[in-house]
Structure 1
């Protein structure tokens, strides 16, 4: 059984995480509205946003308002629960919007947020644009966004502040980043966004649509590898794209950059 103080800490910070997930769910809703994808997709995002908000408020209400301190055990547990909770709520658009089973939706969401990249979906090119974008955005967030959450929360935690970082620091593998936590976050996001912009521009210049270039950049830099074609990037060769070899080299190069330690 979890100690009450430890459970309180985990509950408190999970509410923070869910509050951060809400604006992320608004983005595919906007995409869905732009592409006029219909009421079922709209409802999927409305309900996902509503359920996530309600869960966040419930967790915040349950958490007692006292001094929150982090130790290594609590940090490790919070990391584990964070991945589970964000994957559960991230699966809602798949369940409601495209009527996937709970297991398939949860698998896809987990593969997205953890940047594992495995998929159980087929007929990807037939899926709504907003669902495709949400899959890619999950990997984008999984690549650095959740690490940012841990860094920012660490800056507010008393005691063993950097236990969060040691539990989930894979992009910046040092015992302690630069002294100012916000500067650390700016450096990480600056590198991450720069890579995404560069890859998107290059892929667009080589002939991909902006949507394809952006979503593939999201999943390349995170090293997750989600594509919205069943053949993955082999689709470009099979479809007769003139620069398909260049697409593959660009994606390989930026995936390599995404896998390199950001300290370098």
Structure 2
């Protein structure tokens, strides 16, 4: 696979013998510089697929082939040592990846500045907000000299400015030949998009996914990331597909909006 960075061939995953099938003969192939977005409802198996792709979870069947150039991985949840500073954490992981300390320091300062890390790299990880801890975790992946980056819900807990900066960083690295596999509820990134549904991998325009439930979200102030409909007496209403709801709410709250109500959109 000269230009292939990752291949999954008819991968099946069960966590116990006779248990439910989480991944059902999933096949995908990613080439150098390709951006791939993986969508699906919570519990659909997206995180399992990413861990299998990285080798942190072994498939029950099928095969996984990765480029020998290595990969970076950001899980959806991780609890690094709370007393360790962001700088020491990044230095430790960068050194394990074969990077020089000066190289790590320069790259870490550059990426965290663009993501808007506050209060900076010398604060203990245990004192950081969820959003700032997320920025440190993303940085440890983005500074690595690898050909594949696997990101699980990278935009969760980021404010609008950090989300825009992360989008730019991903696109820059993709232009440089890095391949991305990203599980998300909707990022707006270009590239191939798949939906994981009942263990099967489908193109996101598959008609089986067209009937997904939509939601109405009422905010007290407009959200910066989307145009809405003014409500009588003040406030703004937004119509969102189910797979974009969580990301939209996180960004709106980070921007200072108050959520008045979230309800399923009546079917027509």
Query: Of the two structures, which has the highest relative contact order with CA contacts closer than 8 Å and spacing of 6 or more?
Result: 2
Say which structure is richer in strand.
2
Say which structure is richer in helix.
1
| TM-score, normalised with respect to structure 1 | 0.30
